[in-house]
Amino acid sequence: MTMSTIGILYPGHSAEDDYPWLEERLRGEGYAVRLPLVHTSVGEDAHRVDALLDLGGPDRLAHGADQLLRGARPDAVVWACTSGSFVFGWEGAHAQVAELAARTGVPTTSTSLAFVQACRRLGLTRVAVAASYPQDVAQAFVDFLGRAGIEVTATGSHDIITAAEVGTLGRDAVLALAGSVDATGAEAVLVPDTALHTLAWLEDLEEATGRVVLTANQVSVHEGLALAGEVPAVPGLGTLFATARPAARSAQPGTPTGDTR
């Protein structure tokens, strides 16, 4: 596998250490992957629709993209924020990524769109959502998934207002959050929020829920790698990373991921 550089635009400070952890894990498995990360600016740290619309606003993302491009030459870029993308709705999330792609000049995606792509790669159409967010924000994610043809069988919301608080949750709390949603009839449990540490516990999460588990930081990196080329099979990173995926037909520079249906 050639060196892939996936630029990460990450809002604020909470679980950003998941990314260097994964970079080291991939290196330990013999894969040359760089995950340079730029912290985008945050107005108010709140899982509230108005604050999230500001968080994912074009000026904040453009400034972050410019910082990233000054320090790295990425093969792909990920706006690593779930709520700061899906709150714009299906069309809005695609427009957000298209604008970023035009600025970066490389294939670009967001965590919300990466969740959709991960479900499609695994053939998942019925999922449960275990969200750290308040109910109205969690419902916006459910609606977003619905636009992609993914049925949400059950939703758990935990009313955690700030990303900073989410980032303090340890293994047991994360397992409890994922296990609190009724997964009956679901093929997978989706755990949004890149503020949540999850990468080191993916196998534990799948064992605890008895389902495929997709988490925000996991799908963000997987889709970034898919946009850049080959995705390696890496043990311990859940079902999504269990199978290597060869490089797909190359995307044109500046192309966003996903479809617009």
pLDDT more than 70, % of the chain:
94
Domains of the chain, residue spans: 4-241
Q: Return the sign of the alpha-carbon dihedral for residues 179, 185, 187, 190.
A: negative
**Angle, CA 38 vertex, CA 241 and CA 71 arms, to 5°:** 105
CATH dotted code for 4-241: 3.40.50.12500
pLDDT tens digits for range 36-47: 999 999 999 888
Tell me what the mean pLDDT of segment 205-217 comes to.
Answer: 98
SS3 state of residue 102 = helix
What's the average model confidence in pLDDT over 82-100?
A: 98
Express each pLDDT in 52-79 by its tens digit: 999 999 999 999 999 999 999 999 999 9
Residue 240 has what DSSP assignment?
G
pLDDT of 31 above 80: yes
State pTM to two decimals.
Answer: 0.94
Inter-residue contact 178 to 209 (CB < 8 Å): yes
